[in-house]
């Protein structure tokens, strides 16, 4: 009787320990990255802000142009805005991104458990939770929530829970449309498994997805966001292949990734190097090993292939790195799986088993240290905290001085529009279709122009305000030779 009680108590104790460990990891993630900021995330927050304030799902009140590629994230931000207000919303959304990050790690464990066992699957899950795929870099965006839905959809498919698959794929696609790519392999598996009965999950997925697209067609007059049209087809095919291979390949073994345009162009002129090649070989070995152990794991491998084909077709600038995250995540999962399989292949014996476990713990700890370092420095990063600080100062200036109806023009409009609550003209055309024509129509209403030395070179001498971040001391997070992020405010079409 005593031994029976002990054996039944052990699983319960293990479950409690796992929950506590998950909560501790989530606390670390939120504490380190609730303040991480992306200007593009504020484009989505601006839609949520206007919706919560009764202006409709728009970036500028009265202008029905869809610039966010994340409609469900915009709806989440509207609910968050109504609950916590303007100042707290960005941190809440980053915390939700951390929750999506942890959910991915949990999905990885259940996805790989049958093939790798508890130790191997646990190592891969910890690797993702500790930042092996750089998930922390994107918590402000919808990216982590999207991939949490995608990975859990794969887990549901492995368990033949097809209605759950349909619901999760629909939600992932509403968070970001490129997630619908996974509907192809998962849908094929569903048809193979259910035959004629596959219409039920298909109907559920369609019923959950269709309302948004019907609304988008009626409200915006288009099913595709304007920002997508301005990002696609900007890079030559061979250059894009080199960039993708290097970006996805160098992440796993290196501490940082440079996203400067000059560096991106340099990378594009060379085939993948040894580090990138090693990562791709490791990922390929992991994928093959997993499929040999469990044939159904062709699903994540095919998902990765589809994402790679899509990136090559769309040919977007590598600087929009969050669009590459799904492929980066799958490459990392397969590379981690290869390491777990290697540890498992060590000779039999307790000593070798302990050595294998220590090796995996050491590797996971390395990812944790890399992520902890990023948590300490991202608030001084040129394109992260430094940019956000300068934009917040500009927004505060405009919030007080801009007159009702004044329009502000800038190359990046998300953060400034959100905090200044002013209508914006996006000079890059991601938010504003045909910005030159719109500028001509605005006339004297276009009163403010934000000059960004990061784009234009030196600030204009006639600037009203020069907003600068504090000096940056993190070499890996800012372009060489730039120790501050600055923004100059110019008065345009000044009226007495």
Within this chain, do residues 284 and 268 fall inside the same structural domain, yes or no? yes
Assign 341 to helix, strand or coil.
helix
Within this chain, do residues 231 and 244 fall inside the same structural domain, yes or no? yes
Q: What is the 3-state secondary structure (H, E, C) of 159-184?
A: CCCHHHHHHHHHHHHHHCHHHHHHHH
- Shortest CA distance to 77 belongs to which of 85, 441, 414, 69? 85
Write the pLDDT tens digit of every residue in 295-326. Answer: 999 999 999 999 999 998 888 777 788 889 99
Q: Which of 325, 350, 380 is the last residue of a domain?
A: 380
Within this chain, do residues 265 and 203 fall inside the same structural domain, yes or no? yes
pLDDT beyond 60 at 67: yes
Would you tell me how many other CB atoms lie within 10 Å of the CB of residue 91?
18
Task: For residues 273 and 100, give the distance between their C-alpha atoms in angstroms, rounded to a whole number.
Answer: 32
Q: What is the token pair recorded at 25?
A: 């990891």
Any domain includes 41: no
Within this chain, do residues 425 and 327 fall inside the same structural domain, yes or no? no
* Domain region containing 102: 97-380
Within this chain, do residues 308 and 201 fall inside the same structural domain, yes or no? yes
Any domain includes 165: yes
Within this chain, do residues 153 and 103 fall inside the same structural domain, yes or no? yes
For CA atoms 169, 174, 177, 179, the dihedral sign is: negative
Any domain includes 39: no
400-421 mean pLDDT: 94
Within this chain, do residues 471 and 329 fall inside the same structural domain, yes or no? no
Query: Which is more confidently placed, 250 or 267?
Result: 250
Any domain includes 72: no
Within this chain, do residues 321 and 398 fall inside the same structural domain, yes or no? no
Write the pLDDT tens digit of every residue in 348-383. Answer: 777 888 888 899 999 999 999 999 999 999 999 999
Report pLDDT for 386. 93
Task: For residues 70 and 48, give the distance between their C-alpha atoms in angstroms, rounded to a whole number.
Answer: 11
Any domain includes 261: yes
Task: For residues 316 and 229, give the distance between their C-alpha atoms in angstroms, rounded to a whole number.
Answer: 10
For CA atoms 478, 480, 484, 485, the dihedral sign is: negative
Write the pLDDT tens digit of every residue in 417-462. Answer: 999 999 999 998 889 888 899 999 998 899 999 999 888 777 777 7
Report pLDDT for 369. 94
Any domain includes 17: no
Task: For residues 227 and 231, give the distance between their C-alpha atoms in angstroms, rounded to a whole number.
Answer: 6
Do residues 412 and 454 touch, judged by C-beta distance below 8 A?
no
Within this chain, do residues 305 and 177 fall inside the same structural domain, yes or no? yes
Report pLDDT for 267. 60
Any domain includes 3: no
When the pLDDT of each residue in the chain is averaged and rounded to a whole number, the result is: 90
pLDDT beyond 90 at 242: no
Within this chain, do residues 254 and 122 fall inside the same structural domain, yes or no? yes
In the chain, the number of structural domains is 2
Q: Which of 380, 408, 440 is the last residue of a domain?
A: 380
Within this chain, do residues 327 and 445 fall inside the same structural domain, yes or no? no
Any domain includes 263: yes
Within this chain, do residues 240 and 269 fall inside the same structural domain, yes or no? yes
Q: Which of 357, 380, 403 is the last residue of a domain?
A: 380
């Amino acid at each position: 009787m005593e031994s029976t009680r002990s054996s039944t108590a052990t699983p319960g104790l293990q479950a409690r320990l796992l929950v506590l460990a998950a909560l501790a990891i989530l606390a670390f993630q939120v504490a380190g990255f609730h303040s991480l900021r992306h200007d593009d995330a504020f484009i989505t927050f601006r839609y949520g802000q206007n919706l919560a304030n009764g202006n409709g799902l728009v970036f500028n009140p009265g202008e029905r142009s869809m610039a966010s590629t994340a409609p469900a994230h915009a709806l989440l931000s509207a609910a968050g805005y109504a609950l916590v207000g303007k100042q707290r919303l960005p941190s809440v959304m980053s915390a939700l991104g951390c929750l999506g990050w942890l959910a991915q790690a949990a999905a990885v464990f259940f996805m790989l458990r049958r093939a790798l066992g508890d130790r191997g699957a646990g190592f891969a899950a910890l690797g993702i939770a500790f930042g092996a795929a750089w998930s922390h870099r994107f918590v402000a965006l919808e990216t982590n929530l999207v991939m949490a839905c995608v990975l859990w959809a794969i887990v549901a498919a492995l368990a033949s829970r097809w209605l759950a698959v349909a619901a999760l794929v629909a939600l992932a696609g509403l968070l970001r449309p490129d997630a619908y790519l996974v509907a192809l392999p998962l849908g094929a598996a569903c048809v193979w498994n259910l035959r004629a009965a596959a219409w039920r999950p298909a109907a559920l997925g369609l019923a959950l997805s269709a309302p948004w697209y019907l609304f988008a067609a009626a409200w915006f007059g288009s099913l595709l966001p304007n920002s997508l049209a301005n990002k696609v087809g900007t890079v030559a095919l061979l250059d894009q292949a080199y960039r993708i291979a290097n970006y996805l390949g160098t992440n796993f073994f290196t501490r940082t990734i440079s996203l400067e345009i000059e560096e991106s162009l340099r990378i594009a002129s060379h085939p993948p190097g040894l580090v990138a090649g090693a990562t791709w070989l490791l990922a390929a070995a992991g994928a093959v090993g997993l499929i040999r152990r469990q044939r159904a794991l062709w699903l994540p491998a095919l998902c990765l292939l589809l994402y790679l084909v899509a990136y090559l077709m769309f040919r977007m600038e590598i600087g929009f790195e969050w669009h590459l995250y799904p492929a980066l995540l799958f490459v990392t999962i397969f590379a981690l799986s290869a390491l777990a399989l290697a540890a498992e292949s060590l000779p039999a014996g307790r000593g070798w088993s302990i050595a294998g476990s220590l090796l995996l713990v050491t590797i996971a700890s390395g990812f944790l240290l890399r992520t902890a370092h990023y948590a300490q420095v991202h608030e001084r990063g040129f394109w992260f905290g430094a940019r956000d600080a300068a934009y917040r100062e500009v927004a505060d200036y405009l919030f007080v001085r801009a007159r009702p109806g004044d329009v502000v023009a800038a190359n990046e409009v998300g953060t400034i529009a959100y905090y200044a609550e002013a209508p914006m003209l996006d000079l890059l055309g991601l938010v504003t279709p045909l910005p030159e024509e719109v500028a001509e129509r605005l006339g004297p209403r276009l009163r403010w122009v934000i000059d960004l030395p990061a784009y234009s070179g030196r600030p204009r001498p006639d600037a009203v305000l020069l907003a600068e971040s504090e000096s940056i001391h993190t070499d890996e997070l800012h372009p060489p030779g730039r120790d501050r992020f600055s923004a100059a405010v110019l008065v345009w079409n000044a009226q007495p």
